[in-house]
Amino acid sequence: MIPGGDFHPILFAIVALWVIVCALGVVLSKKIMYSAVAMVFCFLGVAFAYALLHAELLAVMQIMVYVGAISIVVIFAIMLTDEKEGGLELFFNRATIAAGGLALAAAAVVIGAIVADDLEGVVEKTRNPAVKELSRLLFEGYVFPFELISLVLLAALVGAVVLTRKLEGRR
């Protein structure tokens, strides 16, 4: 008995393949713009994964924030910095092979731990409307972090403006 109820192996396989191929595209593609496009598709895949996990609100937020906002910022940055070569400068030398080995080994350890451990849950399922529960959590238990986030975003906004402002006076 799977404690996720409706786990669709085929849908999962599609999403997993999609996400992993796109993530590898981000990391491996020669041009930065291709990386950015792969990132957009990767985040779409993750949004689909959220929807499969019955976190529909999060799927919508994922599309709005990542696919909508963050991608635009990244693509603007790519166009503003105008780097001609973006490619695999470092590929297949010692540093890359070491990094790849390190990432693979760490992934093997974590996935091995996941597989070896018995995660079969004890909690029985009650499918509440997730959004209702989320709003309850958000505005009852976690009001303070929620309000703090707005402060962080404001600070980031001001900080970004300050950082990118031209500093004529100082030079």
Partner 1 sequence: MSALEWWLALAAALFFIGAFGVLARRNVIVVIMSVELMLSGVNLALVATASFRSGTPGGGTLFALFIIALAAAEVAIGIAIVIANYRHRRSVQTDEYSELKG
Nearer to partner 1, 163 or 169 (CB): 163
How far apart, in whole angstroms, are the C-alpha atoms of residue 78 and residue 72? 10
**Nearest distance from C-beta of residue 58 to partner 1, angstroms:** 5
**Nearest distance from C-beta of residue 71 to partner 1, angstroms:** 9
Nearer to partner 1, 164 or 169 (CB): 164
Nearer to partner 1, 43 or 169 (CB): 43
SS3 annotation, 52-70: HCCCHHHHHHHHHHHHHHH
**Nearest distance from C-beta of residue 138 to partner 1, angstroms:** 6
> Structure tokens of 128?
């509440």
Determine the 3-state secondary structure of 4 from DSSP.
coil
Determine the 3-state secondary structure of 7 from DSSP.
coil
**Nearest distance from C-beta of residue 100 to partner 1, angstroms:** 6
The position carrying tokens 């092979």 is 97
